[in-house]
């Protein structure tokens, strides 16, 4: 299914115009990594990890909304995306519990710091981070795309800022919270992070 078909399967046929608007945001011209392809990859990863979630619909909604608002010069993208999720889901007549869970999950992608026992958060965050565990060429393309998105930032500032972000990720005891994602991606992700850090700081 394409992305709009996936949205309609999730939210119903009467929601198509909302879905089209959300998906269109991922095609904004300033995006290079946070694109429709990122959303597609993330939804595929959620499919693979679905058995680990307790409310897979909430996780899938959160994936659609998590980067719906994305501007590199703002620090409140997740909050604004969560507000959009609330507005759209309430317009669709979604239940209060679902709305609250989707909003919580979108906000969780700020730091990908799901707590132990948060099954839905683990699946969403792991799916958002699968790019870290790609093969070297895929990871290099991801890193290059991030650099283009931050093209307005001078090299020295970007390198120091990016290195700080990568160190914070790499210093976590585990990168992936679900057993399936950890088995598949953890080792390769750590190798990719180490390689990019060496490049940034070398």
**DSSP calls for 25-70:** HTT-TT-SSSSHHHHHHHHHHHHHHGGG-S-HHHHHHHHHHHTSS-
* pLDDT tier for residue 202 given thresholds of 50, 70 and 90: confident
* pLDDT tier for residue 115 given thresholds of 50, 70 and 90: confident
pTM of the entire structure? 0.95
**Residue 173 is part of which domain span?**
3-201
How many angstroms separate the Cα of 190 from the Cα of each of 38, 103, 106, 185, 196? 20, 29, 25, 9, 10
Q: What is the pLDDT of residues 117-145, one digit of tens each?
A: 999 999 999 999 999 999 999 999 999 99
CATH of the domain at 25: 1.10.3210
Q: What's the total number of domains in the chain?
A: 1
């Amino acid at each position: 299914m394409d992305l709009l078909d996936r949205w309609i399967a999730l939210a119903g046929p009467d929601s198509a115009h909302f879905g089209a608007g959300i998906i269109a945001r991922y095609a904004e011209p300033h995006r290079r990594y946070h694109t429709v392809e990122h959303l597609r990859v993330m939804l595929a990863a959620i499919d693979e990890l679905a058995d680990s979630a307790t409310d897979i619909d909430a996780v899938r909604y959160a994936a659609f909304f998590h980067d719906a608002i994305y501007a590199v010069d703002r620090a409140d993208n997740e909050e604004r995306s969560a507000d959009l999720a609330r507005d759209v889901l309430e317009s669709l007549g979604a239940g209060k519990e679902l709305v609250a869970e989707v909003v919580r999950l979108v906000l969780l992608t700020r730091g990908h710091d799901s707590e132990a026992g948060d099954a839905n958060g683990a699946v969403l965050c792991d799916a958002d981070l699968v790019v870290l565990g790609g093969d070297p060429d895929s990871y290099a393309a991801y890193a290059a795309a991030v650099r283009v998105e931050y093209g307005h930032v001078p090299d020295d500032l970007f390198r120091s800022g990016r290195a700080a972000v990568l160190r914070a990720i790499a210093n976590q005891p585990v990168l992936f919270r679900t057993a399936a994602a950890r088995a598949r991606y953890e080792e390769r992700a750590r190798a990719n992070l180490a390689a990019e850090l060496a490049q940034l700081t070398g």
